Amino acid sequence: MPENERTTSSPDWPRIAVLGAGAVGCYFGGLLARAGAPVTLIGRANHVQALAEKGLFLESTNFRGYIPVSASTDVAAVRDADIVLFCVKTLDTEDAARLLRPHLAGGAVVVSLQNGVDNVERIRSASGIEALPAVVYVAAEMSGPGRLKHNGRGDLVVRADNVAAVFRRAGIPCVISTNIEGELWMKLIMNCAYNAISALARSTYQRIVEDPGARHVMIQAVKETVAVASAAGVQLPQVDAVEAALQLARAMAGAISSTAQDLARGKRTEIDSLNGYVVRRGEELGVPTPVNHTLHALVKVLEKSMTGNSGTDS
């Protein structure tokens, strides 16, 4: 596998900015840059400094090396972008959307690559930006400043042909769906199945399904989330959600959830947009969600003890 790689941006690629240079943003932005797209990663100073000095270091099963990218801490760096990948944590959705609005070029396409099911509506409400939703399946983690470790999958579901074409050109598997709401909820089901349990048990997805007790909790969380989706009138994909969750563990066996990664770094989590969201919608719709409620409450207690944050995001 190559240790270093030099790519030259091709003039016929759209200009791409990634707002939120965390694991998801760096993975997809990095692959686009490696394929020749002009990519600017916008993130925190420690990552940006490393990215500017050496590029993005990507470690995956079939590649290990540096990918040249542009990097900035300033949201204004989106000003020339044709496509903006909106990859901030759900906690920061509204603030980031408001910061983005003044710098967004006319005709630019904003694509939300976030967890949760309501980010597009929140972006629109906060800024008037009409973002496109995307469903992300990737196991990745920032292993250091400017360094990304890819642990499994790396595919997308979108509803726009032109967006899918850009990702596919970079070799990123991308499915076009006419039922993006259902796909977003299916991803929410997967997140509710694993994120909290992985964080609380400090376990990989494979270990969760191998343990009878944890597997039972995971299955109940899935069933509750399906029930809430059904009550909300969401048309889920025609698959067995429990079996899909088990298949995810096989595909991403060594994955540690983003919630677990956030807590390990002493950062606030997205749990209010995951199990917490299911609990709130369940209450509105009269659907009991005791397992999701328990998982959400326990993660919130752990989050407060590890971050010193005494407030709530619910």
User: For the chain, which residues score pLDDT lower than 50?
Assistant: 1-7, 311-314
State the total domains in the chain. Answer: 2
pLDDT score recorded for residue 309? 63
Q: Does residue 166 share a domain with residue 22?
A: yes
Helix axes 212-231, 180-201, angle to 10 degrees: 150
Q: Which residues are catalytic?
A: 187
Closest to 276 measured CA to CA, from 215, 239, 224: 224
pLDDT confidence of residue 79: 96
Helices (H), the chain: 23-34, 45-54, 93-100, 119-127, 161-169, 180-201, 205-210, 212-231, 241-251, 258-264, 275-285, 290-307
- pLDDT at residue 306, rounded to an integer: 83
Indicate whether 166 and 188 sit together in one domain.
no
Give the pair of three-digit tokens for residue 88: 């901030």
The pLDDT assigned to 248 comes to: 92
Q: What is the pLDDT of residue 307?
A: 74
> Where in the sequence is the domain holding 214, given as residue range(s)?
180-306
> What pLDDT shows up at residue 162?
95
**143 & 192 share domain:** no
C-alpha closest to that of 194 among 235, 142, 236, 139: 139
262 and 132 within one domain: no
pTM: 0.91
pLDDT at residue 151, as a whole number: 87
pLDDT tens for residues 253-272?
A: 888 999 999 999 899 999 99
What is the pLDDT, as a whole number, of residue 9?
A: 54
- Domain stop point among 139, 161, 176: 176
Is residue 158 located within the same domain as residue 35? Answer: yes
Pairing of strands 147-158, 174-176: parallel
Q: Please list, in sequence order, all residues whose beta carbon lies within 8 angstroms of the beta carbon of residue 97, skipping any fewer than 6 positions away.
A: 86, 122, 123, 126, 127, 129
pLDDT score for 252: 87
**Residue 61's pLDDT is what?**
83
Q: Which residues pair with 71 in a beta bridge?
A: 41
47 and 129 housed in the same domain: yes
Look up the CATH number of the domain holding residue 238: 1.10.1040.10
CATH label of the domain that carries residue 29 = 3.40.50.720
Q: Using alpha carbons, list the distances in angstroms from residue 284 to 41, 105, 192, 277.
A: 39, 39, 18, 11
Q: pLDDT (tens digit, 9 = 90+) per residue, 271-310? A: 999 999 999 999 999 999 999 999 999 999 999 988 776 5
Note whether residue 67 is domain-resident: yes
